[in-house]
Amino acid sequence: MKTKMLSLISMFLLGTSMVFAQTKTEKFEVNGNCSMCEQRIETAAKSVDGVASADWNQETKMLHVSYDESNTSMHKIQMAIANVGHDTPMHKASDEVYNALPGCCQYTRTDNTKEMKKNMNSHKGCQH
């Protein structure tokens, strides 16, 4: 009887924790130019444990990301994106990683990532 009661309580607590998962959706700017950038940015964001979805818009340069804030943070998500070469409001990609991007993916960079400028024309002639 005790085993059944403990099992029942455990199932209730597990179900309750799933209902109260801290899913959060945010959007922020990520520098990039083309569909190759889109794939790289979204893949980097989704590689972070707790990220449910990531969708980067090439026109607006905005990433919409849904994540479980009990498993990860904006800091970790933006760091993962910077690690693959794309500047975010919180983190700037290293020069080494940025310089290794294909030429069509190299956007105009600024010193202040919060005031990043967009270079909409730098992907002209990019074949992908």
Question: Which letter does DSSP use for residue 39 in this model?
Answer: H
Question: What number does CATH give the domain 22-115?
Answer: 3.30.70.100
Are the C-beta atoms of residues 83 and 69 closer than 8 Å to each other? no
pLDDT digit string, tens, across residues 50-70: 999 999 999 999 999 999 999
The pLDDT mean for the chain works out to 83
**Looking at residue 90, what is its pLDDT?**
96
Q: Which tokens belong to 10?
A: 């455990």
- Average pLDDT over every residue of 109-113: 66
Q: 32: helix, coil or strand?
A: coil
